[in-house]
């Protein structure tokens, strides 16, 4: 399976993907921020990188069109949003329908958007986490592949909670890609994702301390 990975920052989820020794080819890593540390990480791993600065485009549609053209040069089987902090146009999402997955730092459908950890603490939730899902035009929605939950502690701050959620992200994003590459993800007509040939040791919800 050939993938293109999109990032915006340090690339910690990219690093987790690369360290997992998955049966995939990472054809390229693309960032909308030229100074993203994740680009340096990818170059050190011998992966093609591109910086496509969104500030150099007059609007979101033009940027996404340029991004699609760049991605399509690699003819990937799928595209992974690994900490990519841009809202995508419907045209982009529809172009990669069924081939685009995202990692989001909350237990969707709760807390879509940004500042998820602070919002979770403000709401007093007892469990927080992250979600890997197929991307649809609706922001931070789409068929859920896997979720990881972490307990919320009484002394948590947004930063401490974010650190534990990020550790969970590093587990479930590679796992989701492994299932995807193996052809084990089956999206039902009702939008649920089933895992083909699942056994008792595989769960859709993973709990981390």
Per residue, what are the HEC states of 64-87? HHHHHHHHHCCCCCEEEECCCCCC
Is the alpha carbon torsion for 133, 135, 138, 139 positive or negative? positive
- Reduced to 3 states, what is the DSSP secondary structure of residue 191? coil
Q: Cα torsion at 115, 121, 124, 130 (round to 10°)?
A: 60
| Pairing assessment for the beta strands 144-151 and 2-7 based on DSSP bridges | unpaired
Catalytic site residues?
104
Q: Tell me the longest C-alpha to C-alpha distance in the chain.
A: 51
Is the alpha carbon torsion for 38, 43, 44, 46 positive or negative? positive
* Helix extents (H) in 73-157: 90-95, 116-123
């Amino acid at each position: 399976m050939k993938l293109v990975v999109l990032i915006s920052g340090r690339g910690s989820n990219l690093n987790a993907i690369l360290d997992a020794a998955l049966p995939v080819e990472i054809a390229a890593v693309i960032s909308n921020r030229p100074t993203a540390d994740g680009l340096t990480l990818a170059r050190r791993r011998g992966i093609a990188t591109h910086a496509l600065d969104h500030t150099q485009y007059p609007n979101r549609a033009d940027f996404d069109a340029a991004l699609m053209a760049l991605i399509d040069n690699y003819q990937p089987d799928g595209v992974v949003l690994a900490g990519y902090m841009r809202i995508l146009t419907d045209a982009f999402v529809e172009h990669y329908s069924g081939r685009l997955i995202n990692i989001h730092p909350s237990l969707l459908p709760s807390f879509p958007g940004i500042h998820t950890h602070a919002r979770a603490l403000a709401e007093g939730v007892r469990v927080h986490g992250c979600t890997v899902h197929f991307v649809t035009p609706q922001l931070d929605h789409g068929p859920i592949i896997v979720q990881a939950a972490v307990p919320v502690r009484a002394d948590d701050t947004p930063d401490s909670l974010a650190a534990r959620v990020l550790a969970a992200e590093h587990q479930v994003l590679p796992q989701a890609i492994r299932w995807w590459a193996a052809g084990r993800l089956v999206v039902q007509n009702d939008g649920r994702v089933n895992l083909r040939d699942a056994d008792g040791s595989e769960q859709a919800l993973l709990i981390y301390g």
